[in-house]
Every structure is written in structure tokens, then in C-alpha cells.
Chain A
Amino acid sequence: MVRRASIRLLPLLLLVLLAGCRADPEIEAWRIINSYAYPFPWEVSVTENQTGQEAQPGETLKIDYHADVDLSRYTERYGQFTEIIVAISGERRFDRNGYYRVGPNSYALSSNFTAAGLPIERLDGWRRYRLLQGDGGSPFEGVSSYPLTKGEAAKRHQFDGVLEIALPADIPEGYYEPNLSVLVRVAGVAEPVHLRSYGVNWNEAPKMVLPLVQVGKPATPQMPWSLFAQEYQMGRSGVLPEEMKGKVELVARSGFNSDFILRPGQYRLNPGFPSLFPHVHLAPVDGGLEVVPERIGHQLMLDHGQVACVVNGPDGKRDLGVKRFTGANEAGPELEGGGFAVDMRQTGRYEISLTGTVQDAFGRRFNGGGTYVVHIAMPITFSTSCKPGSGFIEGDKYPPKVNLIPSVPGEVEVVVEYYPNSDEARKQTWIGRGRANRFGHFTTHGQPALVFTEPGEYLSRVTAQFVDAEGRLWMGQQTSVGVIAPREPEMKLHGTRSFAYGNRVGKDYNGAMKQFRDRQDLTTSFLPYTPSMLPDPYAPYDPRDTLFIPSNGYNESLVEPHLSMSFDDPLLRRRFTQAYRLASHLVPPAHQSAQGAWEYLRDVVQISTDSFAWFPADEGVIDELPILPVADGPYHPFAFPENNRVDAYTYMGVVRPGFPVMTSIYQTDAIGLYWLASPNRYGGHFNTSLNGDLAGDVYRIQAGAVVLDHENGRNYYDAYGAAIVVIPSDGQATEILSPGEQPLITFNGREYDIFLAMDTHDAMEVGETIHVGGMVFPAIEADAVWHITKPSGEVVVSRAKANRLGIARGDTAVPIDEPGIYSIQANVFYEGLEGDIVGTTDGTFWHCAVPPGNVSFLQTDPQPVKKIDPAQGVRIPLRWPATLRNVKIHYGVMMPGQVLDQGVIEPDGQAWEYPFEPLQVATQYPNVDVRNYADGELELADTVVFQFFVEAEDGDGKVVDSLRLALRKSTLYNFPALMNGGRNTQPSHPH
């Protein structure tokens, strides 16, 4: 008996499938209806049992189909259609061991990894077929064609055919997910064109899938099930079981993968299915998520299965029993009773064992789950010298300095894994451990630094833990990955040239604009859809240039940080150009001229599918190549990477001071890798609000490319860093300009053409060392000079020339050998331009030092954790014993990347208070978030650190003390009170 089922529009797949699978006699076939394919919708019906639930290598599957392709809207503008092609391509969904594998698209999961073990993502453009294009295909393929007579294309074509899928004898065993497409061959165009690519929303269509086919005798599929997918915090969204490590991982767009840390609370545990509901598994970085489907077609019966759960936490082990699946909502499957309720208010490490099975429509079993590790803790965030995605140059030392926020003396561990030449066998692990000082400042003193002696890759992970007096765990973790680039790289990584306006492929300036003014003035469409006519601004081709982009609050300004590579060596250039060359490509409809014949590109390389970056594949001159792997054979190098001739990927970490805006490890031509300047949720990090960026915000795009040439046994690396500056939405156009053409930012009436971003106002202890260094904006090889005046008056000068990534590290370390204020004047110089530290008058700020074990006498009142009213702000009272004379208070208030206020005051009496009024500060610094411009409500978002240092005299001489508080969003953290069990600090005499 042949069961029949039906698919009506993929979003409704499941419901109809469930109905159909119960032997509904009226349902005749799997029907794939591609309404998305406007102007040429099509429908293909396939009898279900013919798709073959099982097959053996070497076997040929035959699938009868009936196709109904509506070409009635065809006009001669499209060129002459000569043939309709129905094609099927199988993605290996589970391998022979039952583990999930990605196809050409990774969506939220990846089974491909860097040398350092982090997942690589790829969101390909149009599917390629070995049987049609000769590359980029799958061993599971079949094509069938239907000829079109000249002059008769413009009608509805209904025809029957057979798809023959000849499985090679060496096809990797596993479960294959057949995807159907309909293409046309166009006279004079080298490669067939997907019918869907004549429509406008080419990258949002669902996958047209048929039931999984088991090839060979693979193990039972192990589905990657997630937990906490909807609890996105600090850039993470969901966690996979430990058993999946190294097999499949969730990709991360808002911070590289790290331990999953959640705030204390009561949660409901429901397994998430990232392979079927990928959208919910990406912490939202607004922009680009639309290409990640909300759900992918499947044949699972999500009310046929069950899950068992045991939670082992700091409060003991709890067996939560077994629950059945009851169905699915838009975010994933649901368990009876809404899932397992679990109280996780106690901080600490939890191991959650959640395992189960689910069946598909054919009764096949899919296992899922495993052991999940989750940390429940109050959040610690960081200011680190190595930002997520930082690149290094061969010979650099890893900078382990960390400031914790809130400023607690937490246990800090910095682990760096260094892979010289990407060789896992030569991996070096460097660990720096210790306790931060009582102001949250940590660095490794006396421990030899890790020197990156040769090009390669690294992964660093900073973990901080602190248990307060009430026993609550505070925890944070930050991961950075990137490359160590050679001093003189053979492969050069750079941005991608942008277009002046639109994409007029035939025009001279297409792909030739390195810098531009007045490119586009984006404004808001009051109608529901914003046309995708304008390409998004790319990362500056020349990293010394700056991309200026307006913040307009309404979805228009976005950044697509496409990077490309080039080779000076003509042989390498030719080899990679040939590997990446596309014989033909249809220019997307939005970029076709409104009148005249449609344009098909010939002989191009493609940097990105959805933002229209193609460049002529001219081997002689091309200097913009995608960073892609090259397969050894006709299979897709991301879906079947086992025998790639070349592996290649790009690390990218775009940081705004204080948090990662977007992170990704990806292969070029990833579509949808962009973000909106405003509004944007930015993964729920601190230091950003729903407003996204405001004028005055700056970014640094940090990237590193890795090309592993297995064929020649050579690897190529390069790093890239460039600046983006957010400007007011004044109708001015997006611009890419060279240094000095336009001030980067204007604060307090000062215009900054260039500036240095570095930590200021650190609080240290005598015996530590000051290492000066920072990030020059824009990323130029500027000269940096630091004049450090010690409390004794001694002046030490430290100098540096920023490297080509714009990173400057001073040549002189200054030992802290006396308590007091270490005043530092920092200046940068570049070709007649001068700059210093944003928010200061002339680049002067200070660090302070107290003796180790210094008895604290400076008191303040705020509760350990206090919510403040954005309208009123907060007044931070400081008190000291009456016996002190000549009290001098130095105060410094800073936000990541800039100083907000600093000064010295000599108050009378024994108390003084510092008023912090966010509304007032925002008049001075428009990038301080005080209001949600979506609804007008007052709302704080930034991290602000208050550093106080007191010098005074008592009967025994000079005494000093320091106090550091932090504001994150509207929560003020008073570290001394945290240490004292929630009570305010008590007065104590200094001696």
C-alpha cells in the first residue's frame, strides 16, 4: 500500500504532512509548490514512495514527476528560454555515524570547523549541480529537461518526466535530504538559471525538500537538540549537548562561542531543533536574519516522541521525569505541560541530561539530546586588550590585560590556544591565571608572554568568576579568535570596492570605487517594503579608510562587511581565479534596468550573492577574490569538505567599544551577513540599546583570512582592521573617506580626525606594571606617544608605531613603584594629523595606584546592586574620616572607548558627591543612550565606570584610596558593598 502525502506551501508543511501521512486516500503525491518563484511559479508533484526511503551506493533511483511551470509572464527581455530543467540535489543531512552535517548552507548550525574548533558558517547563493555546472554539487543528483520551442515559452507548461539519480558507488553513506529546483536554460548564457532568481526575494525562499533518503547503512541519526534557544543573553542563544562538541556547533553572530551563562531564574526546558527551526537559534543581530529560515521542511512527527530530563545542579540532582512531544510552535517543538519547569535561581554550574527520540512520517527514529552544561551566574563583562576577532602580526605578543565589570577581585583565567600554521599537532596553550585586584584589574605579572612567532590561528578565552559575600556566583566569558598574519603577506586581505550607486554592471565604475562621497542618502520607506536597489556599503577596500554611515533609526543604514583577498603572485592569482570563476550569472532583478534586455554576467567572481558584488574574472588584474574553499571534484566544498584541495575561511569580529556588534567565521559569499546601524538589538549585550547605533558611535572591523592550500602544502594568512563611524542622520550620504578628509567624531566642540582608543583610569596596586597601547582610529600606521608622569614627577616616555592593523603597543612598560596618580598624555600623529583620547582635552588621563593591602577608608552609600532612574541619574556620595586633611579627589568617568568626565576637586569637609545625570551627559555625548527612540521611553544602555582616587594627609602622612563603581544599563554596581555581603561599606580609619 502506498501512502500518499501532500505539501501545501512549506510553512504549512508539518500540519498537512501529519494529515496526509495517515493514509488519506485523496492525497496523491508530494507536491512542491514554489509560489516564491514569481514571476515564474512552478509546481512539481512527486509520488512519495518513488523518492525511495532507502537506497544503496551504486544504485539508481528513479522518480516520476509531474511539473507545472508557469512561464506566461515571460517576455523577450529575459532572453530566449530553450529548456526547462527539473533538478534534484541531496544534502547529506546525517553522516554514516548519525551526526548532523551541513549542506551548502549552514543556517544556525555548522559541522565544519576552524583549526581552533569553532564552527564555520556559509550561506550560499543559488544551488549548483555537478550535472549542470560541473561543480558545487552533490553525489545525490538527478536532472531532467523539457525543451522549449522558440516563440512558445510564454505560457504554462505541464509535463511529466523522470528524475534518475545515479548514486556513485563511493557516495558517503548517510541520510540525504533531496531538494527540488526548477531552472531554465537561456540561449547564449553558459549556465542554467534558477527560475526563482527572476524574482525579487531571491534569498528568502524556503527549501523545497522531499523526505530523507537513507543511503547505505548509516547509524541512527543523532539530531542536534538545543536548550535555552529563546533565552538569548550576551550574544548567545541556546546551547548544544557536550556530546556534539566537535561534531556540530551552533554558530554565533554576536560573540564567538563560549560557555553558556544565564542569569538566575526559573526556566522551562524544551528542546529546540536548530536544524529545523534555525532562526530562533541566532541571538538577534538585526539585519541578515531574514535569510535564515524560521523553519525548514521536514517529515518529523513532532507529536511522536518523548524526552527524559535530569538536572544536576549546585542544589543537587533532580529527576524531572519524562514528557511527550505534543507538536510545535513557530520556535520549535513543544513538550506536554510546556516543558520541564526547573528552578535555577541558585547560581553555579548545572549539568542537564536531556535525551529523547522523535519519529518521522515513515516511523524512523531520530535520537536527540545529551548533557548540557549551563552556568547560572550574575554577569561579568570585560574590557580586554584583545577584542573578539583581533588580528595579530607575526612576532606580536598576546596582551592578557583584563578589566572586569563590575570591578570585583574575581578569579581570572586567560587561555590562549595558538595554532602555528594552523597545525593542530603544534598547538601551544598558554594559560594565565590569577586574581584580579580589588578594582577588577588583571594582568599576568612576571609570566612570560605568549609570542606569536609565525603565522597561524589563535583562540583565546577569558573567564572570570567571583563569588560575592552572599554566595552568588558572578561569571563572564569572552572568546576571541583570529589570525596571526605574516609581516609581508602573500595573500592580502582587504575590503571590497563598493559601487557609487546601484549596480549598473555595464558601467565603467562598477566595482571600481575605493572611496566615495555622496554615495546614497538612504531614507525611510513609508510603504512596507524597502526596495533592495541600493547595495549595502562594504568594508573599506583600503583599511586606512573609514566608512561613514548615518544612524537614522529606521532600518535603512546597514553595513555589509564583505572582505576579499588578492595575490600578487600571478600564478596564485590565476589558480584561484579559475577556481572561483562563474561562467555566467543573472544580475538580480532589483539591479536590472527597468527597461531593455536583462543582463547576464559572464566570467565573474562573486564576493556576495545578495549584495551584488561581482568582479570580472580577469586573471591578469583581479584583486578581489572571494575567500572560499576549493573542492577536489564536483561536490560542494562546504557540504562535502573531506577532500578539499583548499580550505578557506574568514574570521570576523566587528566591535563597538564594549561589545561585539557582529562575529562570524564564514566563507565568502555568505548572504545576509550584515547588520542595521539602527535600530538593532545587538544580541542583548550591555552597552547597546534597541536604538542600535547613535551618532558618535564607532566600530572596528577586525578580520583574518585563512587559506589552507592542501594541494601545495602552503597556508596563507592575512589580517584586516578598518574603522566605521556612525554619523547623524542628516540626509547626508554614506561615504568612504581617507584619513583627515572628514572628522571622525565631534564631542565637546572638539573634532577628532584621528584618535586612540585605550583603557583609561585603571586602578592598580603598587607592584603592577603599566603597559600602554591602544587602537588607532582609523586603522592607520600612526605614531603614538605616551608621556607618563609618575606621582614623584618622573616622566617616562613610551612610543609606538601602530602596525598595519592600527594597533599601537608602547615600547616601555612602566613599573608602578609608588602609590598615587600616574598621569598619562597620549597622542597620535599621522601625516600631519594629530589626535588623542576621545573625551579628554588634550589626551591626558590617569591611572592610579594604591599600596597592596591598602586599608580602605573611602566610603560610599549605594546598595551593592541598585537600579537608577534614567531621568534623575545617580549621585554617588563619597565620605572619609574627619581626621584627614588636604583631601584631593581625582575622578574619572568613562564609557568603553571614551572618557566622559574627569577632574580633580579639593572639597571641604568630609564628604562629596559625584552627580551622574545621563540626560545631561547625553547633551555632551550624543552616543550615550538615554532614550529608546522607538517609543520615547527613557532607557539606559551603556556601561559607565566611575573611578575615584583620594589623596589626603593624616597624622602619619600621606594616605590614598581608590573606589570603582560601574553602571551597566540602569544598574549601578557597588563593588565594596558586594564584598561586604550586601551591606554598605563601613567607615574605617586608614591606619
Chain B
Amino acid sequence: MVEQQTQENRRSGALPHALVWAVAVVLYLTVGFRFASLFALEFRALMTNLSLDKFTDTAWIPWGENLLRFAAAPLFLFFIIALLYRLLARWNVAANPLANRSFGFRILIGAITLLPYTAFCWFAAQVWAVWISVEVFWWIQWYSHIDPAMEWIRANVPLVAAPSLFLTGVWLWWLAWPRKTPATRTRSVFRWAGAVVLLFVLISPLTLGLLRFGRIGFAPGFSVFERHCGQCHANARPLYFIKTPAEWRRTVKRMRKLENVPLDDRQEARVAQFLLGMRSFSDEWTFNTRCRRCHVTSHRNWEKRRPEDWAAITRRIARYSPYYYRPDVQNQIVQHLTSARSAPDAALGLDPTEYDAYQLIDKTCSACHALSRQQERYRQISLEEAEQLVRRMSEKMPEPPTEDRIQSLATGYREMIGQPELLRRLFPHDEPVLSGGPSW
């Protein structure tokens, strides 16, 4: 019965087979080769950077690049073709020519697909390490931790990533072969999905790498970048750096202007977008790296604030490290918070006039003082003393306030200073950070 059905399928003509091969090739060219080229570019970036060490030869780098471009192709094609054939066979469109093949045939296909893939895995694992180090770099706060971490990742991640990639390939290869006893469609889908999840959970380096892989996967502008950015410097050179989106945009603009790079506005935007995908982070992700390292989940309970108040809070935390929270990064955090948790008239449930008065005190005093420290010293301050204090401070201000302003500042100051809880709500991170959060 089965034999008869197969015969019928085979009689269905060459078109389905041609389609299978065509789809596989098109998929490879549009997706597989594109990713392979990105792998190759990343590899070039890593190796040309390492070659800046005086001992390193660069002659073999193009060889490695080509290996990355093409060595996974047999497995990719085989996987797609086998998969399509399985679907076609299931839908009785065409017989699966891979079914019921001899052991020797399988060994042959295995050799053709998996041997080059094995080499691919080792090179791709280096790229994987680069991607992971890009992710990790954005999380590290103190710069003395950066070099050891980057070095550790480059040395050790490939040791795990290479076998992980290889096992993944073998597993995909195994999945693609037709089964002697076809499973039901439902069971098969679940089995595939479950296996994928299991694999990703078990092989964390792959998961981490895929995070970045996902980000760069469809970064446009690759071809424009390849075409134009290697004229003056090695075209992988920009990939040595991680910048904020604003910095990348400035860089590309400046290159275009100073070096007369023949890019139009659209191409300039695409190059910038490519670099953003490869070596930058979104506002939200930057918020995650900077703020959620301590506020892991509590940020969900944050009250809405005005954008300028978020900016003030971000400026305060920047006292912790002017490098980790440098102005461009601050802007990203504020942009994220503005879109996610702000309202133009937010007042934390206080009377808006009162809220504005407190914010004015902050603007007036915080250029020179942490209000929380003021609170430690002046919590019991009388109105008269508060006035004296404000008056004395106003002598140091570039533009001394009016008498009315002094009165209102003193009144508001006294009220606010006397309410520690309110102060904390109004001005988070006002107190200098002494410790807390991950040590790195």
C-alpha cells in the first residue's frame, strides 16, 4: 500500500521537487547567506582587531570568513529540503526521496553536511563570544571589570558555544530525516517546539547569543555598509565599538561630511541603523541594564512622572558613575521612561501647585546640595532658621532670588525637609549611593 502511494507521488511530476530545491536555495540566499555574511563580518571584526597585536597574521582571515559564509550551507540546504519533503510527503504532494534510504546514503549525506558544519561551529563560536561580550559590556558598571570580563568571554564562551552549535546542528540533522513511523502532525509540532525550548534553556550561551542574533538579524543597511565603509578604513573597524544610538548617528553623519562618503540621506540612515543593530542598544534595553540591575521588578510599581522629573532622577544617579550613566545613556533612559511611565501633568498624587513648589526647591538647591543630606542636618529647622539658611545660600547664587522667592523657598523647604517619606518619593536617588546593586 505504502509502495503504491509512493509510486503515485513520484508520478506527480518534477515540479514539487524543483520547488523544494528552489525554495531551499532562495531561503539560503535570503536568510542563510545573509546571516552567514554577518557571521563573517563579525569574525573579520574580531580577527582584524586581534591582529592589531603585533604578532598576529591576518592572511588567514578571509579564509575563515569564507568558511563561515559557506560551510554551513550544506546543512542548511539539507535541513530545509528534508523538512519541505517531509511536509510534502505528509500532504501527499510528493514523495520524500530521502525516505527509506540506506545507511550508507545517510552517512554520505552526514559527511557532506556535518563535516563542514563542524568547522563552521568553531569559527561561529568565536562570533558567538563576540555577541555575548557585546551584551555583557553594556551591563558592566566599573571599568576595571570590563577587560577581564571581555577576555574571559572570548576565551571561554567558544568552548561551550562550539559544541552547543554542533549539537544543535546534529539535532536538526536528525530531526530532518524522515521517520520510519510517521508521527501525527500535532505530536510532531509539540515535539519540535519542546525540543527547541529545551535546547535553548539547556544551552544558555546559545540563548544569550541568539538574543543578539535576533537583534541584528534583520538590521538593514548591511550591503550599504559593506559597500561604503571599507574605503578608508577596514570595514569591520566600526564593529570594535559599542555606542549609543545618538553617537552612531553622529559618527555616520560626520564620516559622510568629512570624508565625502557618497551616501544619500536614506543610505546614511541605513548605515546608522545597521550599526545600531550590531553595536548599540535600544532605550528600553539600556534602561534594563542601568536601572533594572537593582530595580529588578519593582520598576513596575513606579508612579508616573513628568519627563523633566525623570531627567532629574537620572542625573542624580549619574553621580554614581559619570561614565556608566553618561549623558547619552541618561537620554536613552529618560526617553524610555518618558514613553513608558510619564505624564505631562503627573504630580505623584500631590496637589499640582504644591508639587511644583517642591520641584522648584529641588531645582534651586540641588545644583549644589543633596536634599537628603540637608534633611539629616535640618530636619527640625524652624521657619526663621530656614529663611536665614536660604538667605545665606542665595548670596552664593549666580542670580539671587527675590524676597518673595526666598520666603516661599524657606516655607517649602521646611515642609519638605520635615517629611522624609515625601522627600524620598519626590526625589529618588537624591541620597548619594554608597553601596548596593551588583558589584560589577
Question: CB within 8 Å of B: which residues of A?
Answer: 35-36, 38-39, 73, 199-201, 204-205, 500-502, 504, 518, 520-521, 523-531, 533, 551-554, 593-595, 679, 694-695, 728-731, 733, 748-750, 841, 871, 903, 915, 917, 919-920, 922-924, 926, 931, 933-936, 938
Contact = CB atoms under 8 A, between A and B. Distances in A.
Contacts of A530: 240
B326 A730 contact: yes
A554 B142 CA distance: 10
Interface string B393-418: 00111100000000000000000000
B97 interface: no
B138 to A, nearest CB: 9
A36 B144 CA distance: 29
A870 to B, nearest CB: 9
B146 A523 contact: no
Contacts of A917: 373
Contacts of A501: 254-255, 258-259
Given A500-B258, A529-B49, A923 B319 contact: yes
Interface in B99-147: 130, 133-134, 137, 141-147
Interface in B24-72: 45-46, 49-59
Contact of B52 (A39, A502, A529, A728): A529
Contacts of B231: 593-595
17 contacts: A36-B54, A38-B55, A205-B54, A501-B255, A502-B232, A504-B259, A520-B254, A523-B247, A527-B46, A594-B231, A594-B232, A594-B233, A679-B143, A841-B397, A923-B366, A933-B324, A935-B142
A527 B322 contact: no
A922 B319 contact: yes
B144 A934 contact: yes
Contacts of B251: 521
B250 A527 contact: no
Contacts of A529: 49-50, 52-53, 240
Nearest to A500: B258
A731 B57 contact: no
Given A525-B240, A731-B246, A917-B373, A201 B323 contact: no
Contacts of A520: 254
A695 B315 CA distance: 14
Contacts of A554: 143, 146, 323
Contact of B57 (A38, A523, A933): A38
B93 interface: no
Given A521-B250, A595-B231, A920 B432 contact: yes
B209 to A, nearest CB: 15
Interface residues of B, number: 70
Contacts of A204: 54
B368 interface: yes
B396 A748 contact: yes
B226 to A, nearest CB: 12
A933 B323 contact: yes
A841 B241 contact: no
Contacts of B319: 922-923, 926
Contacts, number: 184
| Residue with the greatest number of chain A CB neighbours at <10 A, chosen from B53, B134, B323, B326 | B323
Main secondary structure of the interface of A (DSSP, over half): loop
B396 A526 contact: no
Nearest to B55: A35
Give 9 nearest A-B pairs by CB, closest first: A730-B327, A934-B144, A529-B52, A553-B323, A919-B432, A527-B49, A731-B247, A201-B54, A924-B368
Contacts of B247: 521, 523, 731
B392 interface: yes
Given A525-B49, A920-B432, 8 more contacts: A518-B250, A526-B242, A527-B130, A594-B233, A594-B234, A731-B244, A933-B142, A933-B323
A834 to B, nearest CB: 12
Contacts of B392: 903
Given A501-B254, A730-B328, A924-B367, A841 B55 contact: no
Contact of A526 (B146, B250, B258): B146
B311 interface: no
Nearest to A918: B432
B49 A841 contact: no
A688 to B, nearest CB: 16
A2 B40 CA distance: 54
Nearest to A205: B54
B17 interface: no
B55 to A, nearest CB: 6
Contacts of B46: 527
A533 B134 contact: no
B326 A595 contact: no
A922 B434 CA distance: 13
